[in-house]
Structure 1
Amino acid sequence: MGKEMNSIKNEEQYEALRDKGMSKEKAARIANTSNPDHNSTPYEERTKEELYDKAKEVGIEGRSEMSKEELIKALRNH
């Protein structure tokens, strides 16, 4: 059967991306990394704790020593 994703976090987005011709892997990756709660919230409007959690999620090193502004810069350049 091949390798299937156990669960897609955003099924609707996944299907829309597949309909546009995107590969299953890429569509699943995008749908699973998108956070509907934060998608439209600019980094500047998030708390330092939210930014820290996002930095942790994506694996940014040195995040515990960073200011809010440094976290924003690191996330944007990641």
Structure 2
Amino acid sequence: MPGDKHGPGIKNPEAYEAIRDDGASKEKAARISNAMASEGASKVGRRGGKAENYEDWTVSQLRKRASELGIEGRSYMKKDRLINALRHH
């Protein structure tokens, strides 16, 4: 049963499980699935694509963004690992 794998704060358990199965973190899956439940999947699906490519960011900018997201170990990461961590957070 989908409810067994997450907490009570998940508004759309089926979407949550599908997003987790695709490899997203628990936090990201919860954010997306709850937005889908609140605003509708089509509205949520139209978002995104507005940020610059991470490859164009400096390491300092990447570390600042990683800090905002609470990614641990960011101060020791090189650019490629920072990008990977940000994309999969």
Query: What TM-score does the superposition give when structure 1 sets the normalisation length?
Result: 0.51
Counterpart of 2:76 (choices 62, 65, 69) is 65
User: Unmatched 5+ residue regions in structure 2?
Assistant: 1-37
| TM-score (norm. length: structure 2) | 0.45
What secondary structure does 2:52 align onto? coil
After superposition, the CA RMSD in angstroms is: 2.2
Equivalenced residue count is: 45
Structure with a larger share of its residues in helix: 2
Counterpart CA distance in 2 for 1:51 and 1:71 is: 7
Aligned position for 1:22:
39
Identity of aligned residues (%): 44
| In 2, Cα distance between equivalents of 1:74 and 1:40 | 16
Cα distance in 2 for residues equivalent to 1:51 and 1:65? 12
